Structure 1
Amino acid sequence: MKLVRFGAAGAEKPGLIDGDGDLRDLSNHIADIAGETLSPEGLAALAALNASSLPRIAEKQRLGPCVAGTGKFICIGLNYSDHAREAGLPVPTEPIVFMKATSAICGPDDDLVIPRGSTKTDWEVELGIVIGKTAKHVSKEDALEHVAGYCVLHDVSERAFQNERQGQWTKGKSCDTFGPTGPWLVTREEVADPQNLSMWLKVNGETMQSGSTRTMVFGVAELVSYLSDFMSLHPGDIISTGTPPGVGMGLSPQRYLKAGDVVELGIEGLGQQRQLCISSS
């Protein structure tokens, strides 16, 4: 299934994309794409519905973040071997973990706001994991049973805030609109191999990133298992799994986003995003 949330920011309704690509309204069946809806039982109940019997939404709608109720937005740094080389850093021997504020989450096509004082706002296409069942000390072999599905994530980063100010990376990762999520949550059974997905990102029509989840250092199952040893993972939690090479910081000369730029990005089978960069008011 492809699950979506549509409507005005803060008032999204749950929906799904049917086999013909039409948007169908799920609000008569569930309150939101969150909590128990993401459990194996909740997803099975949605899969049992006759999609053609659900109300069809004909008019164009804003798509919101594809999951609600996210308690933790966990990111993995330098998780692509070719990106680590691009950054001039060693390939990690253990996942590099940092947090992104949940207030950064926004819709896949919402405007990307360049924050006040920014000089180095950068792009990063990433595979997102959405947790569906609580995970604590789970094995790598059982880890995928705790995954509801996958989505496209844009881990926008302000490199000066991240690397040139004291403290951890979080403040360079957490500005408002720095976490476009979606367009939809593709449930786990529809993704045959999350470690074999092509991914790309363009700025003003120019391809900047072109990679594959094949080059991830730590794969989906390993990340879920690893993180569950340090914290419980709950339904709706998001794991952003790292980016392939081609970020602005890695170019020579370096290149960063400015107001008026258009960023487009996508992952095979998971859809695509488009953001217009605007200045902070």
Structure 2
Amino acid sequence: MKRAKVAYAGAIHEAVEKDGRLQLNDGRIVEEQNVVWLPPVEPRTVFALGLNYADHAAELSFKAPEEPLVFLKGPNTFIGHRGQTRRPADVDYMHYECELAVVIGRPARNVKREEAYEYVSGYTVANDYAIRDYLENYYRPNLRVKNRDTCTPIGPWFVDKAAVQDPMNLTLRTYVNGELTQEGNTKDMVFDIPYLIEYLSSFMTLNEGDIILTGTPKGSVDTKVGDEVITEIEGIGRLVNTIVGDETFGIKETSKKVTSQQTT
């Protein structure tokens, strides 16, 4: 089952897909374009994977990591389907990242990989934008790269794990203004979902609502104000997002970039 969270007629509703429309939890049927889409899950601790596809690491002139490269994301970053992501006026390179988001369904501690899926409640699509201008290096992505407000659209659907036969064999695609710019498959992850759950739960407790963003394949390109970016994952959903400028957020002047002298 595909489930969503939307705002309609002044209230927040759970909703399900029904014949190309939305059925709200009060039974009303509404058109998808007449609601405000919210993130389908409320993120708690969010783990993001860097360089978790070997082809993406290669396109950045890096070797695939020998241990998961993990960093955290704040809840301020998340917006829903058909939302707007701000591109600051002073940046030179801001690219999308189509990622399978794994949602944890119950507390997990010291989980063995063969039992990992028992702790998954379902999946959604994430588009985790990165601003390369602020990157110190790819092995230490700093806050200004990945934790900016509105930089992570997620949704539109939360899909129960029972509806996904093999999450490690799903096609990922990204379209910019209708042109296919990225294509890959989750089978090409360096560290698969069971490994990541085993790894993370070996030193900390994963809780219900925690999310693992599993990385992106090669094909990330710069985006500009006005671009419509669609990230889709086979069987999970098609997430639409638009890039907007500072003026949309009432920002007249963007602060100058801060460059770190630390490079290792």
TM class by shorter-chain length? 0.7 to 0.9
Partners of 1:115 and 1:175 within 8 A in 2: no
Residues 201 and 209, structure 1, Cα contact 8 Å, conserved in 2: yes
SS at match of 1:153: strand
> C-alpha offsets along residues 145-196 of structure 1, whole Å, 9 cap, x if unaligned?
111101110010111112379x743320111111111000100000000011
Identity of counterpart residues, as a percentage? 37
State the partner residue of 2:254.
none
**Residue type of the alignment partner of 2:114:** E
Q: Which amino acid aligns with 2:66?
A: T
Structure 2: gaps (5+ residues) = 252-264
Structure 2 SS opposite 1:119: coil
Q: Which residue number in structure 1 is paired with residue 40 of structure 2?
A: 66
> Which residue identity does 2:38 align to in structure 1?
G
Structure 1 length normalisation: TM-score? 0.81
Structure 1 alignment gaps of length 5 or more: 29-53, 249-255
Q: 3-state DSSP class of the match of 1:163?
A: coil
1:192 aligns to 2:165 (yes or no): yes
User: Secondary structure, in 3 states, of the residue corresponding to 2:37?
Assistant: coil
- 2:132 and 2:103 mapped to 1: Cα distance? 26
Is it true that 1:276 corresponds to 2:242 in the alignment? yes
User: How far apart, in 1, do the equivalents of 2:107 and 2:57 lie?
Assistant: 31
Structure 2 CA distance, aligned partners of 1:259 and 1:244? Answer: 23
Secondary structure of 1:12's match? strand
Deviation at 1:116, TM superposition (A): 5.0
Change over 3 Å in CA distance of 1:91–1:102 after alignment to 2: same
Partner of 1:2: 2
Alpha carbons 1:99, 1:170 under 8 Å: kept: no
Give distance in 1, aligned partners of 2:239 and 2:156: 7
* 1:131 corresponds to 2:130: no
2:231 aligns with 265
1:225 to 195, 198, 209: 198
Question: In 2, are the aligned partners of 1:195 and 1:213 still within 8 Å (CA)?
Answer: yes
Partners in 2 of 1:168 and 1:271 — Cα distance?
28
Residue 22 (1) aligns with residue 51 (2): no
Count of residues paired in the alignment: 244
- 1:14, distance to aligned residue in structure 2 (A): 1.5
Tell me, yes or no, if the aligned pair for 1:72 and 1:237 is still in contact at 8 Å.
Answer: yes
Give RMSD over aligned pairs.
Answer: 2.0
The verdict on how the C-alpha distance between 1:87 and 1:22 changes in structure 2, with shifts beyond 3 A counting, is: same
Deviation at residue 121 of structure 1 after TM alignment: 1.2
Distance 1:243 1:58, change over 3 A: closer
Q: Counterpart of 1:243 in 2: which secondary structure? A: coil
1:182 aligns with 2:155: yes
| Stretch deviating more after TM superposition (261-270 or 56-65) | 56-65
Q: Which structure dedicates a bigger proportion of its chain to strand? A: 2
Provide the rounded CA distance (Å) in 2 between the counterparts of 1:12 and 1:230.
36
